[in-house]
Protein backbone atom coordinates (compact mmCIF):
# COMPACT_ATOMS: atom_id res chain seq x y z
CA UNK A 1 0.00 0.00 0.00
CA UNK A 2 2.87 2.34 0.85
CA UNK A 3 4.45 1.77 -2.58
CA UNK A 4 1.25 2.67 -4.41
CA UNK A 5 0.54 5.61 -2.11
CA UNK A 6 3.99 7.17 -2.36
CA UNK A 7 3.75 7.28 -6.17
CA UNK A 8 0.61 9.41 -6.11
CA UNK A 9 0.86 13.09 -6.97
CA UNK A 10 -0.62 13.90 -3.57
CA UNK A 11 2.49 12.48 -1.86
CA UNK A 12 5.17 13.15 -4.48
CA UNK A 13 3.96 16.72 -4.85
CA UNK A 14 4.07 19.00 -7.88
CA UNK A 15 7.44 20.69 -7.16
CA UNK A 16 11.02 19.46 -7.30
CA UNK A 17 14.42 21.07 -6.85
CA UNK A 18 16.84 19.68 -9.43
CA UNK A 19 20.26 20.25 -7.84
CA UNK A 20 23.63 19.51 -9.48
CA UNK A 21 26.60 19.27 -7.12
CA UNK A 22 29.89 19.51 -9.03
CA UNK A 23 32.97 18.57 -7.01
CA UNK A 24 35.92 20.87 -7.76
CA UNK A 25 39.62 19.79 -7.66
CA UNK A 26 40.07 21.56 -4.28
CA UNK A 27 37.29 19.43 -2.71
CA UNK A 28 34.68 22.17 -2.60
CA UNK A 29 31.40 22.06 -4.52
CA UNK A 30 29.83 24.30 -7.10
CA UNK A 31 26.05 24.02 -7.35
CA UNK A 32 23.47 24.70 -10.04
CA UNK A 33 19.74 24.30 -9.40
CA UNK A 34 16.39 24.58 -11.15
CA UNK A 35 13.12 24.74 -9.18
CA UNK A 36 10.34 23.15 -11.26
CA UNK A 37 6.58 23.26 -10.76
CA UNK A 38 4.21 20.87 -12.47
CA UNK A 39 0.87 22.45 -13.40
CA UNK A 40 -1.36 19.84 -15.03
CA UNK A 41 1.05 18.44 -17.67
CA UNK A 42 3.13 21.59 -18.03
CA UNK A 43 6.46 22.39 -16.39
CA UNK A 44 7.15 25.85 -15.07
CA UNK A 45 10.65 26.99 -14.12
CA UNK A 46 10.04 28.93 -10.92
CA UNK A 47 13.65 29.70 -9.98
CA UNK A 48 17.16 28.86 -11.17
CA UNK A 49 20.71 29.71 -10.15
CA UNK A 50 24.24 28.60 -11.09
CA UNK A 51 27.79 28.87 -9.83
CA UNK A 52 26.67 28.64 -6.19
CA UNK A 53 29.38 28.07 -3.58
CA UNK A 54 27.32 28.87 -0.45
CA UNK A 55 24.53 26.28 -0.68
CA UNK A 56 22.90 27.10 2.67
CA UNK A 57 22.47 30.75 1.73
CA UNK A 58 21.11 29.85 -1.74
CA UNK A 59 18.60 27.34 -0.34
CA UNK A 60 17.32 29.89 2.17
CA UNK A 61 15.50 31.48 -0.80
CA UNK A 62 13.65 28.19 -1.51
CA UNK A 63 10.60 27.08 0.56
CA UNK A 64 11.55 24.14 2.78
CA UNK A 65 9.76 20.85 2.30
CA UNK A 66 10.37 20.71 -1.45
CA UNK A 67 12.06 17.38 -2.38
CA UNK A 68 15.51 17.41 -4.00
CA UNK A 69 16.71 15.40 -6.99
CA UNK A 70 20.51 15.41 -6.63
CA UNK A 71 22.93 15.03 -9.54
CA UNK A 72 26.59 14.50 -8.55
CA UNK A 73 29.57 15.01 -10.84
CA UNK A 74 33.17 16.21 -10.88
CA UNK A 75 35.99 15.02 -8.70
CA UNK A 76 35.34 11.56 -7.24
CA UNK A 77 32.81 10.57 -9.94
CA UNK A 78 33.96 8.10 -12.62
CA UNK A 79 32.26 7.53 -15.99
CA UNK A 80 33.28 4.59 -18.23
CA UNK A 81 31.84 3.17 -21.42
CA UNK A 82 32.14 -0.62 -21.39
CA UNK A 83 30.63 -3.73 -22.95
CA UNK A 84 28.52 -5.63 -20.41
CA UNK A 85 26.65 -8.89 -20.37
CA UNK A 86 23.05 -8.64 -19.17
CA UNK A 87 23.63 -11.06 -16.30
CA UNK A 88 26.63 -9.27 -14.80
CA UNK A 89 26.09 -7.98 -11.27
CA UNK A 90 27.37 -4.75 -9.71
CA UNK A 91 30.36 -6.46 -8.09
CA UNK A 92 31.69 -7.79 -11.40
CA UNK A 93 31.05 -4.45 -13.11
CA UNK A 94 32.87 -2.57 -10.34
CA UNK A 95 35.85 -4.96 -10.50
CA UNK A 96 36.30 -4.15 -14.22
CA UNK A 97 36.71 -0.46 -13.36
CA UNK A 98 38.25 -0.56 -9.86
CA UNK A 99 39.77 -3.97 -9.13
CA UNK A 100 39.62 -5.03 -5.45
CA UNK A 101 37.09 -2.24 -4.63
CA UNK A 102 34.45 -2.96 -2.00
CA UNK A 103 30.96 -2.84 -3.66
CA UNK A 104 29.39 -1.72 -0.39
CA UNK A 105 31.38 1.50 -0.55
CA UNK A 106 30.23 2.59 -4.01
CA UNK A 107 27.06 3.74 -5.71
CA UNK A 108 26.91 2.44 -9.27
CA UNK A 109 24.74 3.72 -12.15
CA UNK A 110 24.22 2.11 -15.57
CA UNK A 111 23.14 4.07 -18.65
CA UNK A 112 22.38 2.37 -21.98
CA UNK A 113 24.54 3.51 -24.93
CA UNK A 114 23.37 1.38 -27.84
CA UNK A 115 24.99 -2.05 -27.52
CA UNK A 116 27.31 -0.69 -24.81
CA UNK A 117 26.67 0.91 -21.43
CA UNK A 118 28.00 3.86 -19.49
CA UNK A 119 28.98 2.95 -15.95
CA UNK A 120 29.08 5.82 -13.46
CA UNK A 121 30.20 5.37 -9.87
CA UNK A 122 30.92 7.38 -6.75
CA UNK A 123 31.67 6.57 -3.13
CA UNK A 124 28.63 6.21 -0.88
CA UNK A 125 30.44 8.47 1.60
CA UNK A 126 30.16 11.42 -0.81
CA UNK A 127 26.41 10.88 -1.23
CA UNK A 128 25.97 10.56 2.56
CA UNK A 129 27.79 13.86 3.14
CA UNK A 130 25.56 15.67 0.64
CA UNK A 131 22.43 14.11 2.16
CA UNK A 132 23.53 15.34 5.60
CA UNK A 133 24.29 18.83 4.24
CA UNK A 134 20.85 19.13 2.67
CA UNK A 135 19.17 17.85 5.85
CA UNK A 136 20.86 20.68 7.74
CA UNK A 137 19.11 23.03 5.31
CA UNK A 138 15.77 21.23 5.93
CA UNK A 139 15.70 19.59 2.51
CA UNK A 140 15.26 15.89 1.74
CA UNK A 141 16.84 14.03 -1.16
CA UNK A 142 14.43 11.70 -2.98
CA UNK A 143 16.75 10.47 -5.73
CA UNK A 144 20.35 10.69 -6.96
CA UNK A 145 21.97 10.31 -10.37
CA UNK A 146 25.52 10.68 -11.60
CA UNK A 147 26.79 12.79 -14.47
CA UNK A 148 24.93 14.30 -17.39
CA UNK A 149 23.24 11.12 -18.65
CA UNK A 150 19.82 12.13 -17.32
CA UNK A 151 19.64 14.32 -20.45
CA UNK A 152 18.27 11.19 -22.13
CA UNK A 153 14.89 11.96 -20.47
CA UNK A 154 14.57 15.38 -22.13
CA UNK A 155 16.33 14.57 -25.40
CA UNK A 156 13.12 14.83 -27.46
CA UNK A 157 12.54 18.42 -26.30
CA UNK A 158 15.96 19.70 -27.39
CA UNK A 159 17.12 21.11 -30.70
CA UNK A 160 20.44 20.17 -32.35
CA UNK A 161 19.87 16.59 -31.26
CA UNK A 162 23.15 15.11 -32.54
CA UNK A 163 25.37 17.11 -30.16
CA UNK A 164 24.31 18.67 -26.87
CA UNK A 165 26.47 20.64 -24.42
CA UNK A 166 25.43 20.10 -20.80
CA UNK A 167 27.02 19.90 -17.37
CA UNK A 168 30.57 20.42 -18.64
CA UNK A 169 30.26 17.68 -21.30
CA UNK A 170 29.61 17.32 -24.97
CA UNK A 171 27.05 14.54 -25.41
CA UNK A 172 26.72 12.68 -28.71
CA UNK A 173 23.36 11.10 -29.49
CA UNK A 174 22.29 8.20 -31.67
CA UNK A 175 18.79 6.68 -31.87
CA UNK A 176 17.45 8.91 -29.09
CA UNK A 177 20.10 8.23 -26.40
CA UNK A 178 23.66 9.21 -25.48
CA UNK A 179 26.12 7.22 -27.55
CA UNK A 180 29.31 8.91 -26.37
CA UNK A 181 30.54 11.86 -24.32
CA UNK A 182 33.51 14.20 -24.13
CA UNK A 183 34.45 16.19 -21.04
CA UNK A 184 35.10 19.83 -21.82
CA UNK A 185 38.06 21.74 -20.42
CA UNK A 186 35.80 24.65 -19.50
CA UNK A 187 32.37 23.72 -18.08
CA UNK A 188 31.25 27.39 -17.99
CA UNK A 189 30.57 27.78 -21.71
CA UNK A 190 27.23 29.28 -22.70
CA UNK A 191 24.95 27.40 -25.08
CA UNK A 192 21.22 28.05 -24.96
CA UNK A 193 18.54 25.46 -25.70
CA UNK A 194 14.85 26.03 -26.31
CA UNK A 195 12.61 23.82 -24.18
CA UNK A 196 8.96 24.56 -24.82
CA UNK A 197 8.73 28.35 -24.90
CA UNK A 198 11.68 29.01 -22.60
CA UNK A 199 15.37 29.30 -23.34
CA UNK A 200 17.60 27.40 -20.94
CA UNK A 201 21.36 27.75 -20.62
CA UNK A 202 23.40 24.53 -20.85
CA UNK A 203 24.47 24.80 -17.20
CA UNK A 204 20.85 24.21 -16.13
CA UNK A 205 20.10 21.27 -18.42
CA UNK A 206 21.30 18.54 -16.04
CA UNK A 207 19.35 19.98 -13.09
CA UNK A 208 16.29 20.41 -15.28
CA UNK A 209 16.54 16.81 -16.49
CA UNK A 210 16.73 15.57 -12.88
CA UNK A 211 13.62 17.49 -11.89
CA UNK A 212 11.84 16.26 -15.02
CA UNK A 213 12.70 12.65 -14.16
CA UNK A 214 11.09 13.05 -10.73
CA UNK A 215 7.89 14.77 -11.89
CA UNK A 216 7.49 12.38 -14.85
CA UNK A 217 8.98 9.15 -13.44
CA UNK A 218 10.13 6.26 -15.62
CA UNK A 219 8.23 3.11 -14.63
CA UNK A 220 11.13 0.96 -15.86
CA UNK A 221 13.73 2.65 -13.67
CA UNK A 222 15.95 0.04 -11.95
CA UNK A 223 15.96 -0.38 -8.18
CA UNK A 224 18.02 2.22 -6.37
CA UNK A 225 20.63 1.92 -3.62
CA UNK A 226 19.29 1.13 -0.11
CA UNK A 227 20.72 4.41 1.22
CA UNK A 228 18.76 6.43 -1.36
CA UNK A 229 15.68 4.30 -0.81
CA UNK A 230 15.90 5.04 2.90
CA UNK A 231 16.20 8.81 2.53
CA UNK A 232 13.45 8.89 -0.13
CA UNK A 233 11.10 6.82 2.03
CA UNK A 234 11.86 9.10 4.95
CA UNK A 235 10.52 12.00 2.87
CA UNK A 236 7.47 10.03 1.72
CA UNK A 237 6.69 8.84 5.27
CA UNK A 238 6.88 12.42 6.49
CA UNK A 239 4.51 13.55 3.72
CA UNK A 240 2.08 10.73 4.49
CA UNK A 241 2.22 11.54 8.21
CA UNK A 242 1.52 15.23 7.57
CA UNK A 243 -1.29 14.36 5.17
CA UNK A 244 -2.81 11.93 7.69
CA UNK A 245 -2.54 14.58 10.41
CA UNK A 246 -4.27 17.16 8.24
CA UNK A 247 -6.95 14.62 7.32
CA UNK A 248 -7.60 13.80 11.00
CA UNK A 249 -7.74 17.49 11.90
CA UNK A 250 -10.12 18.09 9.02
CA UNK A 251 -12.28 15.17 10.20
CA UNK A 252 -12.55 16.50 13.74
CA UNK A 253 -13.17 20.01 12.47
CA UNK A 254 -15.95 18.65 10.24
CA UNK A 255 -17.34 16.72 13.21
CA UNK A 256 -17.29 19.87 15.33
CA UNK A 257 -18.91 21.84 12.51
CA UNK A 258 -21.69 19.26 12.11
CA UNK A 259 -22.26 19.30 15.88
CA UNK A 260 -22.42 23.09 15.84
CA UNK A 261 -24.83 23.11 12.90
CA UNK A 262 -27.09 20.54 14.58
CA UNK A 263 -27.11 22.54 17.80
CA UNK A 264 -27.89 25.72 15.87
CA UNK A 265 -30.66 23.95 13.96
CA UNK A 266 -32.41 22.57 17.03
CA UNK A 267 -31.90 25.78 18.95
CA UNK A 268 -33.47 27.67 16.08
CA UNK A 269 -36.41 25.24 15.99
CA UNK A 270 -36.89 25.65 19.75
CA UNK A 271 -37.01 29.41 19.37
CA UNK A 272 -39.40 29.11 16.43
CA UNK A 273 -41.83 26.91 18.35
CA UNK A 274 -41.63 29.21 21.36
CA UNK A 275 -42.39 32.19 19.13
CA UNK A 276 -45.30 30.36 17.50
CA UNK A 277 -46.79 29.57 20.87
CA UNK A 278 -46.64 33.22 21.87
CA UNK A 279 -48.13 34.26 18.54
CA UNK A 280 -51.24 32.10 18.87
CA UNK A 281 -52.92 34.71 21.01
CA UNK A 282 -52.10 37.41 18.48
CA UNK A 283 -53.44 35.25 15.64
CA UNK A 284 -56.83 35.06 17.27
CA UNK A 285 -56.91 38.85 17.55
CA UNK A 286 -55.81 39.24 13.95
CA UNK A 287 -58.51 36.89 12.71
CA UNK A 288 -61.20 39.54 13.05
CA UNK A 289 -58.98 42.10 11.31
CA UNK A 290 -58.31 39.74 8.39
CA UNK A 291 -62.00 38.92 8.09
CA UNK A 292 -62.82 42.61 7.77
CA UNK A 293 -60.06 43.07 5.19
CA UNK A 294 -61.37 40.10 3.21
CA UNK A 295 -64.86 41.58 3.03
CA UNK A 296 -63.42 44.93 1.92
CA UNK A 297 -61.43 43.25 -0.86
CA UNK A 298 -64.44 41.26 -2.02
CA UNK A 299 -66.43 44.49 -2.20
CA UNK A 300 -63.61 46.09 -4.22
CA UNK A 301 -63.50 43.20 -6.69
CA UNK A 302 -67.26 43.33 -7.15
CA UNK A 303 -67.20 47.08 -7.74
CA UNK A 304 -64.27 46.87 -10.17
CA UNK A 305 -65.97 44.13 -12.18
CA UNK A 306 -62.98 41.79 -11.90
CA UNK A 307 -65.22 38.97 -10.66
CA UNK A 308 -67.45 39.20 -13.72
CA UNK A 309 -66.92 36.80 -16.66
CA UNK A 310 -64.00 38.13 -18.72
CA UNK A 311 -63.72 38.44 -22.50
CA UNK A 312 -60.17 39.85 -22.52
CA UNK A 313 -58.71 37.03 -24.61
CA UNK A 314 -61.61 37.36 -27.04
CA UNK A 315 -60.91 41.08 -27.51
CA UNK A 316 -57.20 40.42 -28.10
CA UNK A 317 -58.07 37.68 -30.57
CA UNK A 318 -60.39 39.90 -32.60
CA UNK A 319 -57.91 42.77 -32.69
CA UNK A 320 -55.14 40.47 -33.98
CA UNK A 321 -57.48 38.81 -36.51
CA UNK A 322 -58.27 42.10 -38.25
CA UNK A 323 -54.69 43.43 -38.10
CA UNK A 324 -53.23 44.35 -41.55
CA UNK A 325 -49.74 43.08 -42.36
CA UNK A 326 -48.27 46.58 -42.56
CA UNK A 327 -49.38 47.53 -39.06
CA UNK A 328 -47.11 46.44 -36.21
CA UNK A 329 -48.37 46.48 -32.63
CA UNK A 330 -46.02 47.35 -29.82
CA UNK A 331 -48.46 47.45 -26.90
CA UNK A 332 -51.93 46.06 -26.09
CA UNK A 333 -53.31 47.15 -22.71
CA UNK A 334 -56.80 45.88 -21.81
CA UNK A 335 -58.50 47.34 -18.74
CA UNK A 336 -55.19 48.88 -17.60
CA UNK A 337 -54.53 50.95 -14.50
CA UNK A 338 -56.04 54.43 -14.48
CA UNK A 339 -53.01 55.83 -12.67
CA UNK A 340 -49.83 54.64 -11.02
CA UNK A 341 -50.19 52.79 -7.74
CA UNK A 342 -49.27 54.54 -4.54
CA UNK A 343 -48.67 53.07 -1.13
CA UNK A 344 -51.85 51.88 0.61
CA UNK A 345 -54.00 53.09 -2.31
CA UNK A 346 -56.43 50.71 -3.98
CA UNK A 347 -55.82 50.29 -7.72
CA UNK A 348 -58.28 51.86 -10.15
CA UNK A 349 -58.81 50.27 -13.56
CA UNK A 350 -59.97 51.70 -16.88
CA UNK A 351 -62.83 49.29 -17.40
CA UNK A 352 -64.23 48.68 -20.89
CA UNK A 353 -61.09 50.41 -22.25
CA UNK A 354 -58.38 49.04 -24.54
CA UNK A 355 -55.24 51.01 -25.45
CA UNK A 356 -53.40 49.88 -28.59
CA UNK A 357 -50.00 51.29 -29.70
CA UNK A 358 -47.87 50.49 -32.71
CA UNK A 359 -46.61 51.55 -36.14
CA UNK A 360 -48.51 51.93 -39.44
CA UNK A 361 -47.04 52.46 -42.87
CA UNK A 362 -49.56 55.27 -43.48
CA UNK A 363 -52.58 56.96 -41.93
CA UNK A 364 -55.01 55.63 -44.55
CA UNK A 365 -54.20 52.06 -43.61
CA UNK A 366 -54.70 52.92 -39.94
CA UNK A 367 -58.09 54.57 -40.64
CA UNK A 368 -59.26 51.54 -42.62
CA UNK A 369 -58.29 49.24 -39.75
CA UNK A 370 -60.11 51.46 -37.25
CA UNK A 371 -63.23 51.32 -39.42
CA UNK A 372 -62.99 47.53 -39.57
CA UNK A 373 -62.72 47.32 -35.80
CA UNK A 374 -65.68 49.67 -35.40
CA UNK A 375 -67.87 47.06 -37.09
CA UNK A 376 -67.23 44.58 -34.24
CA UNK A 377 -70.31 44.13 -32.06
CA UNK A 378 -68.31 44.48 -28.85
CA UNK A 379 -66.80 47.86 -29.89
CA UNK A 380 -68.62 50.91 -28.58
CA UNK A 381 -66.31 53.52 -30.10
CA UNK A 382 -62.68 54.07 -31.16
CA UNK A 383 -60.58 57.19 -30.65
CA UNK A 384 -57.25 57.88 -32.37
CA UNK A 385 -55.30 59.45 -29.51
CA UNK A 386 -52.10 60.05 -31.41
CA UNK A 387 -50.55 59.60 -34.86
CA UNK A 388 -47.07 60.87 -35.67
CA UNK A 389 -45.15 60.24 -38.93
CA UNK A 390 -41.76 61.97 -39.34
CA UNK A 391 -41.67 61.59 -43.15
CA UNK A 392 -43.43 59.77 -45.98
CA UNK A 393 -40.85 56.97 -46.04
CA UNK A 394 -41.03 56.04 -42.35
CA UNK A 395 -43.97 54.37 -40.57
CA UNK A 396 -46.16 56.47 -38.33
CA UNK A 397 -46.41 55.86 -34.61
CA UNK A 398 -49.98 55.70 -33.30
CA UNK A 399 -52.03 55.12 -30.21
CA UNK A 400 -55.78 54.39 -30.24
CA UNK A 401 -58.35 53.87 -27.51
CA UNK A 402 -61.15 51.32 -27.90
CA UNK A 403 -64.23 51.56 -25.67
CA UNK A 404 -66.12 48.27 -25.28
CA UNK A 405 -69.64 47.54 -24.22
CA UNK A 406 -70.21 46.27 -20.69
CA UNK A 407 -70.12 42.46 -20.28
CA UNK A 408 -73.87 42.15 -19.79
CA UNK A 409 -74.76 44.12 -22.94
Task: Tally Cβ neighbours within 10 Å of residue 318.
Answer: 16
292, 307, 322 — which closes off a domain? Answer: 307
Same structural domain for residues 361 and 255? no
Same structural domain for residues 357 and 266? no
Task: Tally Cβ neighbours within 10 Å of residue 373.
Answer: 19
pLDDT in tens, the chain (409 residues): 555 556 666 777 889 999 999 999 998 999 999 999 988 778 889 999 999 999 999 998 898 889 999 999 999 999 998 886 666 677 788 888 888 888 889 998 888 776 678 899 999 999 999 999 999 999 999 999 999 999 988 888 887 678 888 888 988 888 878 888 898 888 777 788 888 778 888 999 999 999 998 988 876 665 567 787 887 778 777 777 777 788 888 888 888 899 889 888 888 888 888 888 777 777 777 888 888 878 777 766 665 555 555 688 888 888 888 899 889 999 999 888 877 777 667 677 788 899 999 999 898 999 999 999 999 999 999 999 999 988 878 899 999 999 998 876 5
Q: In what order do the strands lie in the sheet with 327-334?
A: 327-334, 353-360, 396-404, 379-388
Same structural domain for residues 45 and 126? yes
Which domain, by its residues, includes 65?
Answer: 2-224
Same structural domain for residues 73 and 162? yes
Closest CA to 119 of 67, 80, 163, 168: 80
> Cβ distance 166 to 189 under 8 Å?
no
Same structural domain for residues 259 and 175? no
Same structural domain for residues 58 and 122? yes
What string of H, E and C letters represents the secondary structure of 50-119?
EEECCHHHHHCCCCCCCCEEEEEEECCCEEEEECCCCCCCHHHHHHHHCCCCCHHHEEEEEEEECCEEEE
Same structural domain for residues 271 and 348? no
Tally the domains of the chain.
3
Same structural domain for residues 141 and 193? yes
307, 322, 348 — which closes off a domain? Answer: 307
Angle at alpha carbon of residue 223, lines to 218 and 225, rounded to 5°: 125
Is 212 part of any domain? Answer: yes
> Cβ distance 365 to 389 under 8 Å?
no
Residue 8: predicted pLDDT: 66
307, 322, 342 — which closes off a domain? Answer: 307
Same structural domain for residues 260 and 400? no
Question: Does residue 84 sit in helix, strand or coil?
Answer: coil
Is 343 part of any domain? Answer: yes
Same structural domain for residues 129 and 273? no
pTM attached to this predicted model = 0.59
Residue 288: predicted pLDDT: 80
Is 96 part of any domain? Answer: yes
CATH code of the domain containing 343: 3.30.1360.100
Same structural domain for residues 267 and 349? no
Q: Pairing mode, if any, of strands 116-123 and 78-82?
A: antiparallel
Is 409 part of any domain? Answer: no
Same structural domain for residues 97 and 123? yes
Amino acid sequence: MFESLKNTRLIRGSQILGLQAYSLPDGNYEYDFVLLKKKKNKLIIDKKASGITDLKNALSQIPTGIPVYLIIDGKGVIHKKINLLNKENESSILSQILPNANPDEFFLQLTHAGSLKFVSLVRIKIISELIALLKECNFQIVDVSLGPFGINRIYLFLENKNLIDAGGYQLFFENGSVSDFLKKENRNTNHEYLIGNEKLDEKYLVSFAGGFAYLFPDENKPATHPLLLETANEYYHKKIFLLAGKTILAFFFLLFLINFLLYSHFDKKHNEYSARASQNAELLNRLDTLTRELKQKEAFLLESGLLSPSRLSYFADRIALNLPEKIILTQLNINGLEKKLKNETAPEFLLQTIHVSGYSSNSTLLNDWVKTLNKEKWVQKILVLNYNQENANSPGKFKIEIKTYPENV
